Chains A and B, each alone.
Chain A
Amino acid sequence: MSAAFSPKRLSPQLRQPSTTRAMMLDMIVALLPALGMAAFFFGPRTLILCAVSMVSCVFFEGLYRALTRQSLTIGDLSACVTGLLLALSLPPSTPYWVPVMGGAFAIIVVKQFYGGMGRNFMNPALAGRMLAGTLPMLMTTWPQPLQQLTHAAPDAVSAATPMAYLHEGALPPQSLDLMFLGERGGCMGEVSSFMLLLGLTYLVLRRVIALRIPCSYLGTVALISFFFPPAGIPALTWTAYQLMGGGLLLGACFFATDPATSPVTPRGQVMFGAGCGLLTVLLRSYSSYPEGVGWAILTMNCMVWLLDRLGLPRQFGAGRSSTTRAYLAQVRASLAEIKFVLPKVELRIKEKKAGAAPGEVYLDQLRALAKTVGPLAGVVAVTCLLIFTVHRFTDLDTARAEVQNQRDVLAQAMPMAAVGAETPYRANGALSITAGYDAESALIGYCVEVQTQGFSGPITMTVGVDLNGAVTGVAVTSHSETDRVGTAAMTPAALARYIGRSGTIRSTGPNSVDTVSGATATSKAITAGVNRALNIVAHLDTEGAINYEDSQ
């Protein structure tokens, strides 16, 4: 067909009315109900925090663009949205420097270093928030609602958030309608589910975001919570609490839907939401941090490229599974070239050179081999020798140090014992059981070595239990807790609180040992270890372990 005359085409003369700036403005408007509710519950400090955050984000963006002599992009309001989101994800009692630091990190490093709006790969507000979250003491005080926090005094009565209860597998004390309205502890923006849903409705009606990501995210979390509730809690209640607890609604509706850091293709967006939901449930159930939404979204942000590739719509008219079939065909073609070839093994004996003695060929080969392997063998030999000598000279000291260590542990776990001897008893959960004897060789009690999961890893401790079932001492032998944060629960003064306790030690109520503030997970781990040791000693089966019969 001859193209005699192809008419010139221009792009459509109509456009839908919104611009990027209008989209950002809509985001701010959608967040205002949540902000208002937070201000109602937590006082004017929330408004000041938001203002500080927004101003610092805008300032840093303007400063960076001016210093690098690029065009000023403050007018597209994306820095304002970042500031507002960052502030709303912080607890109301954060000091004022936290949003400033978070904002600087978010705007300068996460956003501007990659080229500004639309070019970053990680959600800036979330990255700033998570940076603040890694600072240990910041994210542990959660003021209760309806105390009016003034702008100056961050001290307030704090209590466990609903998320802390859910992390343990128990229902929080607030009822569902209070959770829905927002009368609970938590970050400023996440408390009121109702206001967040209002904001989501506004965004969807204004066609700023598509419902794919929030629906797949919340749907995945709801599905998994529904099918795996903890024992004794009705599935529907558990699901409702999970959906409204923590920052899930805030994360699913506002953080995960950030256009620059979520997939572009519709199918990719659904997979993104599902992946976030999966990771959130995993983190909420099993990680040391009580809240997993931020980490889940950040991890999926790094995988967006893969989801985009996978989610590209298939070619029009090519059939339903055409992309898969094409890919499989490509893989098959590529693999078909790889074939197994039988190796040709030849013994090549070098020919004799003229005028050489009969064995000299072999000597040459040996010489070449020695040149390559010789130095390596030499190094290995020297290293072996070194290790051997060092070990020889120090293994006595090592043994002595180990005995001394055992004595120290015994002294701390069972101060009244003079000698400890390893027993052959085995119990489920005990790494070893040592019996403690006093100076007259009478059995005082047992020192049980147990291992529990602390905040950053397993904690191994030795708990001494006397024959009445009371704790005589606790000694922590190995841990990986953060220095000065988790170790606050392992100081001698903290461990001394367990002395004399028996039965099952709880965290509240009768027979309880309070958790050290700032080291909740570590304290709980030590309490769990002590409980396990007490349980083991109470059910210790000393009868069948040792055979006293004479051998024939």
Chain B
Amino acid sequence: MDTTLELMGVALAALLSENMVLVTCMGIGTHQRSFQEPREAIRTGACLTVVMVLGVLFAWPLDLLVLSRSGLSQFRVLAFSLLIPGLVALLRRFLQMCIPELSRRMDSNLSSISTNCAALGAALLVSQRSYGLGSALIFALCGGIGATLALASFASLQNEVDLDRCPKSFQGVPIQLITAGLMAMALVGYHGLYLG
């Protein structure tokens, strides 16, 4: 059974030393608006968290009960990459039919993360590292929260810091990448963080 220390270690790892956006760069596959405005960033991050948790919730038993038992673990990537976009599509449909107001606000964010690598990555990592269910869920939840914080920080920096004061050849995407790189450098110190 997962001890509290193990769970905390997994949580901290997903938040800091393996941040999905800044360190492992898995969660950056969303539309550009979520990097520009804080509100969009928080919405996309929330959607990402929900999708990651749901994805792990479905992928973990799938892997444990179906794929590993029958020796078909080579189909893991294929199975997950069908499962997770399917989950996102189902979720979008459900929101459209049942909670239309939420769908109106979040649909573009949800659609932008349908093929986000963080969701697939969380499921794969959890299976590869043989986490228990508790650790897996904590990993997905904190990974999503870490991605949200990173996206929101980045978007707010864009608002607060005037990014047009660099040389002309750096304006636009290059200075954004430099900013992201500086933020990622701040997380280098958590590399190898291990509780216990």
A binds B: yes
- What residues of chain A have their CB less than 8 Å away from a CB belonging to chain B? 68, 109-110, 112-116, 119-122, 127, 130-131, 134, 282-283, 286-289, 292, 294-296, 298-299, 301-303, 305-306, 337-343, 380, 383-384, 387, 391, 453-457
User: Bound state CA distance, A127 and B190, in angstroms?
Assistant: 15
With known contacts A68-B167, A122-B186, A342-B98, A306–B78 Cβ distance under 8 A: no
User: Bound state CA distance, A83 and B185, in angstroms?
Assistant: 20
Query: Are A339 and B188 within 8 A (Cβ)?
Result: no
In the bound complex, residues from chain B placing their C-beta under 8 Å from that of A295 are: 186-190
- A298-B189, A305-B157, A387-B74 given; name 14 further pairs at CB < 8 Å: A114-B163, A127-B185, A130-B185, A130-B188, A283-B190, A286-B193, A287-B190, A287-B194, A301-B186, A338-B101, A341-B98, A341-B99, A387-B75, A457-B192
Which residue from A116, A283, A305, A457 sits with its C-beta under 8 Å from B165?
A116
B66 at the interface (CB under 8 A from A): no
In the bound complex, residues from chain A placing their C-beta under 8 Å from that of B153 are: 302-303, 305-306
Query: Are B74 and A339 within 8 A (Cβ)?
Result: no
Task: State how many angstroms separate the Cβ of A200 from the closest Cβ of chain B.
Answer: 24
Query: Are A114 and B161 within 8 A (Cβ)?
Result: yes
In the bound complex, residues from chain A placing their C-beta under 8 Å from that of B7 are: none
Q: Which residue of A lies closest to B191 (CB)?
A: A456
Task: State how many angstroms separate the Cβ of A525 from the closest Cβ of chain B.
Answer: 10
In the bound complex, residues from chain B placing their C-beta under 8 Å from that of A387 are: 74-75, 78
Task: State how many angstroms separate the Cβ of B98 from the closest Cβ of chain A.
Answer: 5
Of the A-B pairs whose beta carbons lie under 8 Å apart in the complex, a sample of 20, sorted by A's number, is A110-B182, A113-B167, A113-B170, A114-B161, A114-B163, A115-B161, A130-B185, A131-B185, A282-B12, A283-B193, A287-B189, A294-B189, A295-B186, A305-B153, A305-B159, A306-B156, A343-B97, A384-B78, A453-B194, A456-B191
Query: Are B161 and A302 within 8 A (Cβ)?
Result: no
With known contacts A134-B188, A288-B192, A302–B157 Cβ distance under 8 A: yes
Task: State how many angstroms separate the Cβ of A437 from the closest Cβ of chain B.
Answer: 29
User: Bound state CA distance, A343 and B97, in angstroms?
Assistant: 5
User: Bound state CA distance, A109 and B179, in angstroms?
Assistant: 10
User: Bound state CA distance, A110 and B162, in angstroms?
Assistant: 13
Q: Which residue of A lies closest to B13 (CB)?
A: A457
In the bound complex, residues from chain B placing their C-beta under 8 Å from that of A455 are: 192
Q: Which residue of A lies closest to B174 (CB)?
A: A113
Query: Are B182 and A127 within 8 A (Cβ)?
Result: yes
With known contacts A306-B156, A455-B192, A298–B98 Cβ distance under 8 A: no
Query: Are B99 and A338 within 8 A (Cβ)?
Result: yes
B125 at the interface (CB under 8 A from A): no
In the bound complex, residues from chain B placing their C-beta under 8 Å from that of A119 are: 161-162, 165
User: Bound state CA distance, A353 and B129, in angstroms?
Assistant: 57
B50 at the interface (CB under 8 A from A): no
Which residue from A286, A306, A342 sits with its C-beta under 8 Å from B194?
A286
In the bound complex, residues from chain B placing their C-beta under 8 Å from that of A120 are: 161
In the bound complex, residues from chain B placing their C-beta under 8 Å from that of A299 are: 186-187, 189
User: Bound state CA distance, A301 and B192, in angstroms?
Assistant: 21
Q: Which residue of B lies closest to A456 (CB)?
A: B192
Categorize the interface residue count of chain B.
35 or more
Per-residue A-contact encoding for B164-196, CB less than 8 Å = 1, 0 else: 011100100001001100110111111111110
Task: State how many angstroms separate the Cβ of B154 from the closest Cβ of chain A.
Answer: 8
Task: State how many angstroms separate the Cβ of B114 from the closest Cβ of chain A.
Answer: 14
B100 at the interface (CB under 8 A from A): yes
Query: Are A113 and B189 within 8 A (Cβ)?
Result: no
List B99-158 residues whose CB lies under 8 Å from chain A. 99-102, 152-153, 156-157
With known contacts A387-B75, A456-B191, A113–B186 Cβ distance under 8 A: no
In the bound complex, residues from chain B placing their C-beta under 8 Å from that of A391 are: 74
B64 at the interface (CB under 8 A from A): no
Query: Are A288 and B191 within 8 A (Cβ)?
Result: yes
B25 at the interface (CB under 8 A from A): no
List B67-83 residues whose CB lies under 8 Å from chain A. 74-75, 78, 82
Query: Are A113 and B98 within 8 A (Cβ)?
Result: no
In the bound complex, residues from chain A placing their C-beta under 8 Å from that of B74 are: 387, 391
Query: Are A113 and B75 within 8 A (Cβ)?
Result: no
Task: State how many angstroms separate the Cβ of A155 from the closest Cβ of chain B.
Answer: 28
In the bound complex, residues from chain A placing their C-beta under 8 Å from that of B75 are: 384, 387
Q: Which residue of B lies closest to A283 (CB)?
A: B189
Task: State how many angstroms separate the Cβ of A386 from the closest Cβ of chain B.
Answer: 10
With known contacts A338-B99, A342-B98, A115–B165 Cβ distance under 8 A: yes
Query: Are A339 and B99 within 8 A (Cβ)?
Result: yes
Query: Are B98 and A292 within 8 A (Cβ)?
Result: no
User: Bound state CA distance, A383 and B77, in angstroms?
Assistant: 11
User: Bound state CA distance, A282 and B193, in angstroms?
Assistant: 9
Task: State how many angstroms separate the Cβ of B87 from the closest Cβ of chain A.
Answer: 16
User: Bound state CA distance, A119 and B75, in angstroms?
Assistant: 51
Which residue from B82, B99, B165, B192 sits with its C-beta under 8 Å from A113?
B165
In the bound complex, residues from chain A placing their C-beta under 8 Å from that of B193 are: 282-283, 286-288
Task: State how many angstroms separate the Cβ of B176 from the closest Cβ of chain A.
Answer: 11
The 3 closest A-B pairs by CB, nearest first: A295-B189, A115-B165, A298-B186
Q: Which residue of B lies closest to A289 (CB)?
A: B189
User: Bound state CA distance, A116 and B166, in angstroms?
Assistant: 10
With known contacts A122-B182, A302-B157, A303-B153, A343–B78 Cβ distance under 8 A: no
In the bound complex, residues from chain B placing their C-beta under 8 Å from that of A298 are: 185-186, 189
In the bound complex, residues from chain A placing their C-beta under 8 Å from that of B156 are: 305-306
Query: Are B78 and A114 within 8 A (Cβ)?
Result: no
User: Bound state CA distance, A282 and B11, in angstroms?
Assistant: 13
In the bound complex, residues from chain A placing their C-beta under 8 Å from that of B165 are: 113-116, 119
In the bound complex, residues from chain A placing their C-beta under 8 Å from that of B82 are: 380
In the bound complex, residues from chain A placing their C-beta under 8 Å from that of B152 are: 306
